[in-house]
């Protein structure tokens, strides 16, 4: 069996994020034993996930997650192991996230990511510290700092975000985020600013606008992108979202470059359908003329069976850059199947199909697993609502 070598630190952090977001939740969960505080029964759990690619194109992995709560302190740990050359699982990637409520208005969260050195030693890769504070008047302030170790192991700040969100009125909320990056002298300077405004109306309509600004050569903020649109809930089951993206053209003026239209509805009993269409003014393989043309459509259908199972199918259709005048073609299909098994378990399978060199859909990935799901405890880190 071939052993996969440890990637560099940047790849480790990226891979850990991919595993956390993409990996199917094939959990075999058991209530934690002696680690669970006696006064917090039911608030600690352990979950183990085994991922086996049946096409044998990647190394099998196993993920263990633990969650504990006690006296305003929440700790989540995730350990990813891979199958070694000796047929045994070995440590690979780890994350530790701790949230502590300082007082009724402040929550501090620290997340650490670890990899493994060539000799198997645990190695710190990244630290993210976040403080969320509720200020008078309903304003919320979040400060998030990301640090990486240098060659000597000393932590160096590589990114800082300061976000201020305020409820202007019962219908309007504004958020301003400033991102800081290191300069040549090692200090932090503003690198990006994001301004958001969301307005709600009584007819279940939300209008939004998000502006991204970057500093110019003189350090002045210059508008780089605007995302604006509206979200409508036509009834309790249907939802439509339209978004336009504006970017500077060759003359420096904002012009529409992209548009997305998302539709979500309950098309039949036990079935939910979502369609996201993306339109571009600059289609690959064509000369831009300023008009929006359909470039991609992603359709997701979720069907629930009478036996408690669920089938999720996602189909991606894209335009062929070599023949931009042709209709959209299916380029990828993902099918997730979850069916109840014996003893309260769930059997799950994910199949991914993609276009091959001949233009035909072929299976490129299959994951199978069995899960025994135990509900995880959700922790509300926001302060309690004030009495009316």
Mean pLDDT rounded to a whole number for the chain: 83
Euclidean distance between CA atoms 246 and 163, whole angstroms: 23
**Of 110 and 85, more confident:** 110
pLDDT of residue 343 exceeding 60, the answer is yes
pLDDT of residue 13 exceeding 70, the answer is no
Mean pLDDT of 274-289: 89
Structure confidence at residue 54 (pLDDT): 57
| DSSP conformation class of 136 | G
Share of the chain above pLDDT 90, in %: 52
**What is the model's pTM?**
0.76
pLDDT of residue 30 exceeding 80, the answer is no
**Of 274 and 37, more confident:** 274
Read off the pLDDT band of 210 (50, 70, 90).
very high
Q: How far apart are the first and last CA of the chain?
A: 65
Provide the total of helices (H) and of strands (E) in the chain, helices listed first. Answer: 1, 21
Structure confidence at residue 322 (pLDDT): 85
Taking residue 233's Cβ as centre, other Cβ atoms within 10 Å add up to 15
| DSSP conformation class of 269 | T
Read off the pLDDT band of 18 (50, 70, 90).
very low
Read off the pLDDT band of 37 (50, 70, 90).
very low
Q: How does DSSP assign 31-49, residue by residue?
A: E--TTS-TTSTTS-EEEEE
Least confident of 313-317, 333-337, 338-342, 378-382: 378-382
Euclidean distance between CA atoms 3 and 327, whole angstroms: 43
Q: Give the CA distances from residue 349 to residues 5, 28, 352, 364, 367, in Å, rounded to whole numbers and listed in that order.
A: 27, 15, 10, 14, 5
Q: Report the run of H or E that residue 11 belongs to, with start and end.
A: helix 9-22
Structure confidence at residue 293 (pLDDT): 93
Structure confidence at residue 59 (pLDDT): 76
Read off the pLDDT band of 83 (50, 70, 90).
confident
Read off the pLDDT band of 131 (50, 70, 90).
very high
Over the stretch 240-260, which tens digit does the pLDDT of each residue have? 999 999 999 888 899 999 999
Over the stretch 347-381, which tens digit does the pLDDT of each residue have? 888 899 999 888 889 888 877 766 554 544 444 44
Read off the pLDDT band of 36 (50, 70, 90).
very low
Mean pLDDT of 42-60: 66
Euclidean distance between CA atoms 283 and 86, whole angstroms: 50
Read off the pLDDT band of 344 (50, 70, 90).
low
Structure confidence at residue 134 (pLDDT): 94
Most confident listed range (37-41, 107-111, 320-324, 365-369): 107-111
Over the stretch 150-175, which tens digit does the pLDDT of each residue have? 989 999 999 999 999 999 998 999 99
Least confident of 266-275, 310-319, 372-381: 372-381
Euclidean distance between CA atoms 295 and 316, whole angstroms: 11
């Amino acid at each position: 069996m071939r052993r996969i070598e440890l990637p560099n630190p940047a790849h480790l952090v990226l891979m850990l994020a991919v595993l956390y977001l993409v990996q199917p939740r094939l959990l075999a969960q058991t209530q934690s034993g002696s680690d669970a505080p006696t006064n917090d029964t039911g608030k600690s759990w352990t979950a183990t996930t085994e991922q086996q690619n049946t096409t044998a194109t990647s190394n099998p992995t196993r993920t263990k997650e633990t969650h504990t709560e006690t006296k305003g302190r929440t700790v989540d740990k995730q350990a990813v192991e891979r199958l070694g050359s000796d047929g045994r699982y070995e440590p690979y990637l780890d994350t530790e996230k701790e949230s502590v409520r300082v007082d009724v208005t402040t929550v501090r969260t620290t997340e650490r990511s670890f990899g493994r050195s060539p000799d198997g030693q645990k190695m710190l890769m990244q630290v993210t510290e976040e403080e969320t504070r509720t200020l008078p008047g309903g304003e919320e302030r979040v400060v998030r700092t990301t640090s990486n170790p240098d060659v000597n192991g000393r932590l160096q700040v590589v990114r800082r975000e300061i976000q201020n969100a305020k409820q202007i009125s019962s219908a309007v909320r504004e958020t301003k985020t400033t991102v800081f990056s290191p300069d040549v002298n090692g200090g932090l300077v503003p690198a990006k600013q994001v301004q958001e405004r969301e307005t709600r109306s009584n007819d279940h309509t939300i209008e939004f606008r998000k502006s991204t600004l970057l500093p110019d050569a003189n350090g002045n903020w210059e508008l780089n992108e605007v995302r604006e649109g509206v979200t409508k809930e036509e009834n309790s089951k249907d939802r439509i979202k339209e978004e336009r993206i504006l970017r500077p053209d060759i003359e420096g003026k904002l012009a529409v470059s992209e548009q997305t239209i998302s539709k979500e509805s309950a098309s039949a009993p036990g079935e939910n359908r979502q369609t996201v269409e993306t339109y571009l003014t600059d289609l690959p393989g064509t000369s831009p003329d300023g008009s929006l043309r359909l470039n991609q459509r992603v359709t997701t259908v979720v069907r629930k069976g009478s036996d408690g199972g669920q089938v999720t199918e996602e189909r991606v259709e894209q335009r062929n850059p070599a023949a931009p005048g042709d209709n959209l073609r299916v380029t990828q299909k993902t099918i997730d199947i979850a069916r109840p098994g014996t003893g309260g378990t769930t059997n799950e399978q994910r199949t991914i199909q993609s276009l091959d060199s001949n233009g035909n859909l072929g299976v490129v990935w299959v994951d199978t697993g069995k899960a025994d799901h135990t509900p995880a405890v959700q922790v509300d880190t926001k302060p309690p609502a004030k009495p009316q």
